[in-house]
Amino acid sequence: MFQIIKNKLEKLGCDAWELTETLTDSWEFYYIRHQLDQNRAVETRAFEVKVYRLLEDGKFLGSASGEISPTASEAEIDKVLKDLLFQAGLVKNPAYTLTDTPVNGLPKAVMPAPADMAGAFLSAMQHLSETKTEDINSYEIFVRGKTRHFCNSRGVEARVSWPDSMLEVVINARDDEKEIELYRNFTSGICDEKILEAEIARAMQFGRDRLTAVPTPRTDGIPVIFSTSDACSIYEYFADRTNAAYKVQKISPWEIGAPVAEDLQGDRISLEALPELPGSSRNIPVDSEGCRISERFLIRDGVAEHFWGSRQFSEYLGLADSSQVYNFRVSGGTHSEQDLRQGDYLELVEFSDFQVDSMGGDIAGEIRLGYLHRGGKVTVVTGGSVTGSMTEAVSTMQCSEEQKQYDTMVIPAVTKLFGLRITPVE
């Protein structure tokens, strides 16, 4: 099928094209408590096609994309391609080029069998430490082997495979009066039993603590500490604002060679793009447009150094050697975790949904669990919300030297933000 579509694209009369075949082999297991609710297998093959036309003497490049079903007849394939060719003539984007850099020397992908990947998760979940008051409510295991075969009209061809897993777990904690739940969604390449055990044990501790929590009181002006996976949202703000699309669309005001905030008084963070990160669910050395992903600084010591992103937007910024990025590392913290935890602060560890809006810079989240450290006393709190502006917080934020990995991101283990507003429960 791949070759049939490729042959048709070569004869279509377009100026350029891209063809991607993605194979997904997924095993899924759903549990209520530790009883199997359902088992599922998913085997799919997807063909994505993008057709390009140069318009107005090459000033513009039009494109249109679509999917072709593996069960499509030749007549259906022809119709899809003909429609795309016409539609590509309607869309006038400033011209850019597809990559023509050959992809050589790709590392040999190690793809475990779904049964082995799933078996590791099933076994890990059955051997968790549970108690009468903290246990597993339900969980869902997804293990996927993915293979992507890409080629374009400029002769670039690449085949990459990677494992991609997800475990959704709901944890209960209870006392004589009430029961609460905590939700976790772990993503990774394959199962890492030790990390899983540690994260679930930590969640169970949070559950125990939440049972004794009191309504969040007024905490005027107190700094806020983030020490869980929610902190990734803070650093996604930096990653998004170094995305070429954000720059071209005028969402990101950052400039190469300029600091990411005026009057930087806090830590000057560095953000690196990585082609691979051990344990990541997105260890894909070649991006979806056939560009090799390079290890490079996007921000170094608080100064923007490079933008990443799609071929189109990268070229508009004059960055022909850029690519999409799936893994990031943040460094630059100058404090120890212990130092950051000195004095009064509010450590927030559970939210309904913590968000840092990369466009607007708004920070928002309803507080489900926090630890208020004030006057040498620790109070467990719940309720209310945290709001603020990341644009303002960037100037004064402090980070730990210690780092922690959450799937595709390595970030400071502890992040301290100043100037956030806490809405108490009154």
Partner 1 sequence: MKAPFSDYLTERAPALKELVGLLRQSFEYVSVLATDSVGISVRMSQASKSVSGSNMTTERGVVVRVCREGRYSEYAMNDWDAQDIPALAERITRVLEQQFALLKAVGSDTYTTGLLPDEPCTLFVEKNAEILPEKADPDALVKEMMSLSDRGMETIPGALDCIARGISTHISKLFLTEHRDLRQSYVYTEGTLISYAPTESGDTRVVYEGVSGCGGLEILKGLEEKLAGMPQTMKEVVSAGKVVPGEYEIIADPGIAGLIAHEAFGHGVEMDMFVKNRALGSQYIGQRVGSDLVTMHEGALCDESVTAYAFDDEGTLAGDVTEIDHGILKTGICDALSALRLGTAPTGNGKRENYAHKVYTRMTNTVFDSGTDTLEDMIASVKHGYLLKGTESGMEDPKHWGIQCIISRGYEIKDGKLTGKVVAPVVMTGYVPDLLGGICMASTDREVEGTGACGKGYKEWVKVADGGPYLKSRARLG
**By CB under 8 A, is residue 67 in contact with partner 1?**
yes
Residue 119 Cβ, how far from partner 1 at the closest point, in Å? 6
* Shortest distance in whole angstroms from residue 384 CB to partner 1: 7
Residue 376: CB minimum distance to partner 1, A = 26
Q: Which of residues 197-236 bind partner 1 (CB under 8 A)?
A: none
Nearest distance, CB of residue 303 and partner 1, angstroms: 17
Question: Does residue 170 interact with partner 1 by CB under 8 A?
Answer: yes
CA distance 283 to 116: 19
Q: Rule CB under 8 A: is residue 391 a binding residue for partner 1?
A: yes
Residue pair 136/170 in contact by the 8 Å Cβ criterion: yes
**Contact region with partner 1 (CB under 8 A), list: 157-165, 174-182, 282-290, 408-416:** 174-182
174 binds partner 1 (CB under 8 A): no
Q: CB of residue 316 vs partner 1: minimum separation in angstroms?
A: 9
Position 352 contacts partner 1 (CB under 8 A):
yes
* Near partner 1 in 76-135, by CB under 8 A: 80, 83-84, 86-88, 90-93, 115, 118-119, 122-123, 126
Under the criterion CB under 8 A, does residue 147 sit at the interface with partner 1?
Answer: no
Sequence length of the chain is: 426
| Among 99-107, 189-197, 288-296, 362-370, the segment contacting partner 1 (CB under 8 A) | 362-370
By CB under 8 A, the residues from 289 to 318 that bind partner 1 are: 312-313
To partner 1, the closest distance from the beta carbon of 160 in angstroms equals 20
Residue 417 Cβ vs partner 1, minimum distance, rounded to whole Å: 16
Closest by Cα among 132, 118, 163 to 28: 118
CB 186 within 8 A of CB 166: yes
Q: Tell whether residue 366 is a contact of partner 1 (CB under 8 A).
A: yes
The pairing of strands 362-374 and 377-382 is antiparallel
Nearest to 100 by CA among 49, 160, 60, 158: 158
- Smallest gap from Cβ 80 to partner 1, in A, equals 7
Report the residue number, 313 or 328, with the smaller CB distance to partner 1: 313
Nearest distance from C-beta of residue 262 to partner 1, angstroms? 9
The answer to whether 266 touches 398, Cβ cutoff 8 Å, is yes
Among 38-46, 230-238, 287-295, 339-347, the segment contacting partner 1 (CB under 8 A): 38-46
For partner 1, what does the binding mask look like between residues 234 and 263, x meaning CB under 8 A? -----------x--xxxx-x----------
Structure tokens of 81?
A: 């391609």
Complex with partner 1: residue 102 or 360, whichever CB lies closer:
360
Neighbours of 13 (CB within 10 A): 11
Q: What is the 3-state secondary structure (H, E, C) of 268-321?
A: CCEEEEECCCCCCCCCCCECCCCCECCCEEEEECCEECCCECCHHHHHHCCCCC
Give buried/exposed letters for 37-52 (b at 16+ CB in 10 A, else e): eeeeeeeeeebbbbbb
Q: Which is nearer to partner 1, 6 or 341 (CB)?
A: 6
Among 64, 171, 231, 413, binds partner 1 (CB under 8 A): 64
Q: In terms of CB distance, is 145 or 333 closer to partner 1?
A: 145
Least distance from partner 1 to the Cβ atom of residue 98, Å:
16
Give the residue with the Cβ less far from partner 1, 206 or 274: 206
Under the binding rule (CB under 8 A), the answer on residue 36 touching partner 1 is yes
